[in-house]
Amino acid sequence: MRTLKIGLALLGLIWPLAPRAEVDPLVDILATPGSAGLGALFRMYPSPYKGADPQLDVLPLYLYEGERLFLHASRVGIKLFNRPEDRLDLILDYRFEGFPTDEVPQSLTGMQTRQGSADIGLAYRRETPLGQLRVELVHDAFNINQGSEVRLGYSYDWTRGRLRLRPVATVFLRSAELNDYYYGVRPEEARPDRPAYQANAGLQGWLGLYGYYRLTHGWRLLGGAGVQFLGEDARNSPIVERDVQPTAYLGAAYDFGSHQEFAQERGPLYVKALYGQSTDCILAKIVTLRCVSTHGRDDTDIVGIELGKPFVERVNGWPLDFVGYLSVIRHLEKDLQDDSWQANAYVKAFFYGFPWSHRVKTRIGLGFGLSVAESIPFSEADEAQEEGRSTSNLLTYIDPTIDVSVGDIVGSKRLADTFFGFGVSHRSGIFGSSQLLGNVYGGSNYIYVYVESKL
């Protein structure tokens, strides 16, 4: 069961969204080989369910386009083959469907919550002079809806100057299990104004227009709009109100500008070991040294190991590197609750252009990404319970650090790329603004020491 929860949380599966939406075509338009980036996307959409309020959601964008691996916000995949005219991917793709949970409408009260899920499958695309054709075959990866889907899509890219547009049309062939999970009413959920209903297999459609405008060399302004058309089996459900569902997107992303043909996958490896203690201090006060106490309401610790790969070094010739990290952290809860695991994936910027760096190389780092916890850390659960707030296994991860070269300190060239420093392991719900993160306020902070070496 714990393994299942971890898998779900990795793609935001702990929260249910409203209608199915096509996010990947918007993110994929940025996918230049060898690139990596960060950004945020606002989604505005209605729910298909009766009486549900319109939603505004923040979707963090973490982008990476490697030689064999890629990450497109809600989709991660492995390129099985990648030729100029066609490509086949093995994908894990987040499904943007489910009941709203912030304010449950009267039409859904008393029903078991329908969750979002993730689909695993194959995605094939073929480039033609008239546009791009896509075929995807996917199935529920975590046995939540137990459904399958075939997606047939067409898109065309139009570029003029700094503007790039992509119209998209997609048809979804949905299994009976998939439709019934999200639009059916089970016999035990029936009431006079909500009769039992079993949905069968059917079709859905999506028409969208996506694009970006290149503001600078690195910054892109993202936008798009689309309309989802529900099939007959969904429209006839007693809990469905809208069969045509518009969605709008607006956001921005920064491309680190590597565009070196997959060089980052063959670069050096960063290895980092850390130990930290929980603190009641907030992040802003920690980084400004106004509060650095590790004596608070609880006395829990963390230990962890991180592996990193550089995306790009010396951006535009500046003393600025970007590195992608994967980390595993063990929460030592001191008998307050069971010890548990946490996994993080994030991108980190390092600046080292200080006047004294030629003598003692000093780096200031700031990382942004996602963190998924096997169970809610005690420091988060305790504060949330006291303030009556919800918690989430999946939160944003922020990692500010400062370190110095051990080799420069002790006079050893062999240790020039070994660093000792201090950091903050911070999990955040972005002030309750993101359904992907469970609309959570708060999080946790751990002040830690570490040693990192570049191999």
d(CA 347, CA 71): 12
Among candidates 306, 307, 304, which has minimal Cα distance to 268?
307
Residue 408 corresponds to which tokens in the numbers above? 């420069």
Among candidates 308, 332, 362, 351, which has minimal Cα distance to 446?
332
The string over 282-321, giving b where at least 16 C-beta atoms fall within 10 Å of a residue's C-beta and e elsewhere, is ebeebbeeebeebeeebebbbebebebbbbbbebeeeebb
Average pLDDT of span 209-232: 90
pLDDT of residue 428: 80
pLDDT surpasses 50 at 288: yes
Average pLDDT for the chain: 84
pLDDT of residue 163: 94
Average pLDDT of span 72-82: 85
Q: Percentage of the chain surpassing pLDDT 70? A: 87
Q: Which amino acid is located at 242 in the chain?
A: R
Average pLDDT of span 251-255: 86
pLDDT of residue 319: 92
pLDDT of residue 204: 94
pLDDT of residue 310: 84
pLDDT of residue 73: 74
pLDDT band at 301 (very low <50, low <70, confident <90, very high): very high
Query: Strand pairing partners for 136?
Result: 123, 151
Q: What is the pTM of this model?
A: 0.70
d(CA 19, CA 164): 26
Among candidates 112, 136, 255, 235, which has minimal Cα distance to 183?
235
d(CA 440, CA 122): 33
CA distances 372 to 216, 359, 384, Å, are 33, 39, 17
pLDDT surpasses 50 at 1: no
Residue 72 corresponds to which tokens in the numbers above? 């497109």
Average pLDDT of span 350-373: 90
pLDDT surpasses 70 at 431: no
pLDDT of residue 389: 64
Residue 373 corresponds to which tokens in the numbers above? 């916890």
Query: Strand pairing partners for 450?
Result: 274, 421
pLDDT in tens, 140-181: 987 889 999 999 999 999 999 999 999 999 999 999 999 999
pLDDT in tens, 179-205: 999 999 999 999 999 999 999 999 999
SS (H, E, C) the chain: CHHHHHHHHHCCCCCCCCCCCCCHHHHHCCCCCCCEEEEEEEEEECCCECCCCCEEEEEEEEEEECCCEEEECCEEEEEEEECCCEEEEEEEEEECCCCCCCCCCHHHCCCCCCCCEEEEEEEEEEEECCEEEEEEEEEECCCCCCCEEEEEEEECCEEECCEEEEEEEEEEEECHHHHHHHHCECHHHCECCECCECCCCEEEEEEEEEEEEECCCCEEEEEEEEEEECCHHHHCCCCECCCEEEEEEEEEEEECCCCCCCHHHHCCCEEEEEEEEECCCCHHHHHCCCCCCCCCCCCCEEEEEEEEEEEECCHHHCCEEEEEEEEEEEEECCCCCCCEEEEEEEEEEEECCCCCCCCCCEEEEEEEEEEEECCCCHHHHHHHHHHCCCCCCEEEEEEEEEEEEHHHHHCCHHHCCEEEEEEEEEEECHHHCCHHHCCCCCEEEEEEEEEEEEC
pLDDT surpasses 90 at 314: no
Residue 47 corresponds to which tokens in the numbers above? 């729910």
Q: Count the Cβ atoms, other than its own, within 10 Å of residue 15.
A: 25
pLDDT of residue 2: 44
| φ, ψ for residue 279, nearest 5 deg | -145, 150
Average pLDDT of span 377-388: 76
pLDDT of residue 388: 63
User: What domains lie within the chain, and their CATH numbers?
Assistant: 13-255 (2.40.160.40), 267-454 (2.40.160.20)
pLDDT surpasses 50 at 398: yes
Of 5-9, 103-107, 237-241, 317-321, the poorest mean pLDDT is in 5-9
Among candidates 249, 245, 226, which has minimal Cα distance to 52?
245
Cβ neighbours for 101, distance < 8 A, ≥ 6 positions apart: 15, 16, 113, 439
Among candidates 346, 369, 367, 352, which has minimal Cα distance to 423?
367
